[in-house]
Structure 1
């Protein structure tokens, strides 16, 4: 419990840690909460205080912990137009039509290495399963049904993207196939356009905003 003005000043000074990212202080989380800050201050000062007391200490320093809000922003001047086009398409499908959201990702057996605490002069060795083989994944989710389609390839090329489009056309022999994806170079070239033309209007590509 707090017993003196000097303890309050000490806590106020240490509470300024809330202005720093927790991980920069060696803590295993990215965002502060009152409880986390109480625990941190108890370790640093030996003084454990109630949550409301800490709230008042922070308020005295001009700091208020509040819940952040997610905000969608984009530099694309046509953001609203493209967004509406995708949403109107997916929400007004005709019987037999499908709408996929597509994306790509990399899969590697090589663990990601970051800074670790270790004895001075010693290097931590991380065991790995041999050579760091990488695979390229092309995935998509059927918006109305939730069904997923994923292809794993050894390369990230237009040819593999074309294979995914062919797979959709073969999977849905009737109806229109709408594909919403980003503006990657592999999504916009002559080979892709040839597949769209070959589908005779049954394959429609919708490009997401930047």
Structure 2
């Protein structure tokens, strides 16, 4: 209408000021949980009732790979950091629980992500919170949380209750932020040559991150081998 021409470089300067950035798209699923509202309502109600007698935890598992996660890092302009990888990858797994009120962390580790690992975490919670009248865990729909072995353990320990998240809704599980911090602080671009050295750093992080968030985990001194 006004016959005004704007150079592309000008538009590129204006867009960030308007909060518009160039960003890679993320794949998503159109699958929706028909019970999403009901499940989230149950979780909100449990969190509102979170107390010493009725603690609520966010629970999840995380994979630890010997081959480092490659990501951005500080370096001199024009120089790209080289990260040596061990070559043959090895895996270790953590099952963790993040207290929904205090930010305290309970975790166990193992070489397999199975029902036994999940039950080991439940047993640890049972010992540490033995005076609680009920213990509720917000969990995803991974198979080990629904297995026959897990269901048998839950039936023998009725004060435990699992609150299942809607399917494909990991952003509702706050322990995901803990796993992100673990990777950002320890596993990204790590230089450990064997799993023992890596796990020493992983366990150091897990033992010092609480209360999370707020424990200044990213500022804690970690050592690299």
- TM category (shorter chain) comes to 0.5 to 0.7
Q: What SS does the aligned partner of 2:60 have? A: strand
Where in structure 1 are there 5+ consecutive unaligned residues?
17-36, 39-53, 59-63, 115-123
Distance (whole Å) between structure 1 residues aligned to residue 83 and residue 52 of structure 2: 53
- Deviation >6 Å, runs of 4+: none
TM-score, length of structure 2 as denominator length? 0.56
Deviations 1:99-136 (A, max 9, x none): 1100111111203469xxxxxxxxx9852246422111
Distance (whole Å) between structure 1 residues aligned to residue 47 and residue 89 of structure 2: 39
2:100 matches 1:176: no
Where in structure 2 are there 5+ consecutive unaligned residues?
22-29, 72-80, 168-225
User: Which of 77, 87, 101 is the aligned partner of 2:34?
Assistant: 77
Q: What SS does the aligned partner of 1:206 have? A: strand
Q: Tell me the equivalent position of 1:133.
A: 90
2:123 matches 1:166: yes
Deviations 1:118-161 (A, max 9, x none): xxxxxx98522464221111111011211011222111111111
Q: Residue 94 of structure 1: CA displacement?
A: 5.2
Q: Tell me the equivalent position of 2:56.
A: 99
Q: Residue 66 of structure 1: CA displacement?
A: 3.9
Q: Tell me the equivalent position of 2:151.
A: 193
Residues 1-210 of structure 1: pairs in structure 2 closer than 5 A: 11-12=7-8, 37-38=12-13, 54=14, 65-66=18-19, 75-93=32-50, 95-112=52-69, 126-129=83-86, 131-174=88-131, 175-199=133-157, 201-210=158-167
In the superposition, relative to structure 1, how do residues 135 and 83 fare at CA in structure 2: closer, same or farther (>3 Å)? same
Deviations 1:64-107 (A, max 9, x none): 94469xxxx97111111000101101211354221110011111
Distance (whole Å) between structure 1 residues aligned to residue 110 and residue 155 of structure 2: 25
Considering Cα pairs closer than 8 Å and 6+ residues apart, tell me whether 1 or 2 has the greater RCO.
Answer: 2
Distance (whole Å) between structure 2 residues aligned to residue 67 and residue 102 of structure 1: 35
Alignment length (residue pairs): 147
Distance (whole Å) between structure 2 residues aligned to residue 139 and residue 15 of structure 1: 49
TM-score, length of structure 1 as denominator length? 0.60
Report the RMSD for the aligned CA atoms in angstroms: 3.2
Q: Residue 191 of structure 1: CA displacement?
A: 0.8
